[in-house]
Amino acid sequence: MIKESDLLTDSFGRKHNYLRISLTERCNLRCSYCMPLEGVELTPSENLMNAVEVFELAQLFVAEGVDKIRLTGGEPTVRKDFPEILTKLSQLPIEISLTTNAVAIDHFIPLLKKTRVQNINVSLDTLDANRFQKITFRNYFDRVYKNIFLLIESGFQVKINAVLMKGVNDDELIDFIEFTKKQPVSFRFIEFMPFDGNQWKREKTVSYEDIINRLGQVYKKEQLIRLKDRPNDTTKNFKIKGYKGTFGIISTVTNPFCDQCNRLRLTANGHLKNCLFSNKEQDLLTALRNKEDLTHRIKIAVSGKKAIRAGMASPERFEDEKQHKGNRSMITIGG
């Protein structure tokens, strides 16, 4: 049930009932599209939200109508107090979900069950162990692959996120779709997006259209089923007839879906971002520590939200690398 909240309604009438909280800027992988090769300057730990502050900020948003919180990062499971944070958040009347690289998720299955986490998004950009190492700079393919099956067997709803990049992993598109033949997962193909330090080039992005064309060469028209998308869904969903799982395309670059956006983001250092691509942030953590009224800052963030991609509506503007310079790296935003 979405509470009618003026505070979380923007000037285009979009109600924000979905908060993504980044728990850390750290990660046990180094995916080249997310973490700059030279690394990122980490925020000193005293300037990051502690477990109590995560809960207090979450509580405030829930009181204003947020009913869905996703924990992300960096890699949320590397935080030592991840169990404590999740346990506290599970007291709130919300749906909690998680985005993880699944490297260590096997250690948290009982906790995830206890805290009613149902939906888990796992990043996996290749089905090949050598390639995994090339993309992530770590040799953890076997762990991740095994853990995906563990999550499925444990009854979680699993979505697998793959960032498709030309010449890197786009040759695996059909293998990913064939994975859904026997596995009840949703494989989602995310268009490679530009963020600080990730050497984005439009030519590297595999677009919605590229994917659809490729599908047409492999599957017959009657095999490919377009599924009905849920409200606020960022994904255009499909299925191959008779397959257990589904797949989808997240086309932020070539076909943005901002008119339905219901998301806000809280970074690990407690800054509120109204859009992935916005470099304008409101520092809620400092305000919380100073016991200031937070609603004023939240109002500025929400009412300042632009109609499309932080004002980069046209492809020309969005594809101009200079426009992305003032934003953070994805690893410090929280995807």
30-49 binders of ligand SF4 (CB under 6 A): 30-31, 34-35
The distance of closest approach from Cβ of residue 202 to ligand SAM in the complex, given in angstroms and rounded to an integer, is: 13
Taking the least distance from each CB to ligand SF4, the nearer of 75 and 281 is: 75
The distance of closest approach from Cβ of residue 108 to ligand SF4 in the complex, given in angstroms and rounded to an integer, is: 16
Residue 252 is a binding residue for ligand SF4 (CB under 6 A): no
- Per CB under 6 A, the list member of 74, 194, 248, 270 interacting with ligand SF4 is 74
Residue 75 is a binding residue for ligand SF4 (CB under 6 A): yes
Taking the least distance from each CB to ligand SAM, the nearer of 101 and 115 is: 101
Contacts of 265 (CB under 8 A, 6+ apart): 19, 20, 21, 22, 272, 273, 274, 276, 333, 334
The listed partner (ligand SF4, ligand SAM, none) that binds 202, CB under 5 to 8 Å by sort, is none
31 within 8 A of 74, measured Cβ to Cβ: no
Task: Give me the residues that bind ligand SAM (CB under 6 A), please.
Answer: 27, 33-34, 72-73, 75, 99-101, 123, 161, 163, 190, 192-193, 195, 198, 330-331, 335
The distance of closest approach from Cβ of residue 335 to ligand SAM in the complex, given in angstroms and rounded to an integer, is: 2
Phi, psi of 200 (to 5 degrees): -70, 140
Nearest CA among 92, 77, 101, 120 for reference residue 17: 92
The listed partner (ligand SF4, ligand SAM, none) that binds 215, CB under 5 to 8 Å by sort, is none
The distance of closest approach from Cβ of residue 217 to ligand SAM in the complex, given in angstroms and rounded to an integer, is: 25
The distance of closest approach from Cβ of residue 162 to ligand SF4 in the complex, given in angstroms and rounded to an integer, is: 11
- The 10 Å Cβ neighbour count of residue 291 is 7
The listed partner (ligand SAM, ligand SF4, none) that binds 30, CB under 5 to 8 Å by sort, is ligand SF4
Task: State whether residue 284 is helix, strand or coil.
Answer: helix
Taking the least distance from each CB to ligand SF4, the nearer of 30 and 143 is: 30
- The 10 Å Cβ neighbour count of residue 203 is 8
266 within 8 A of 284, measured Cβ to Cβ: yes
Q: 189 - beta bridge partners?
A: 162, 249
Contact region with ligand SF4 (CB under 6 A), list: 68-76, 239-247, 251-259, 285-293: 68-76
Phi, psi of 168 (to 5 degrees): -110, -55
Q: What's the first-to-final CA gap in the chain, in angstroms?
A: 25
CA dist list (Å): 177 to 22, 65, 160: 29, 36, 11
- Per CB under 6 A, the list member of 19, 21, 23, 29 interacting with ligand SF4 is 29
Nearest CA among 116, 186, 193, 191 for reference residue 148: 186
Residue with the shortest CB distance to ligand SAM: 335
34 within 8 A of 255, measured Cβ to Cβ: no
Residue 123 is a binding residue for ligand SF4 (CB under 6 A): yes
Contact region with ligand SF4 (CB under 6 A), list: 2-10, 27-35, 80-88, 228-236: 27-35
Interface contacts to ligand SF4, rule CB under 6 A: 27, 29-31, 34-35, 73-75, 101, 123, 331
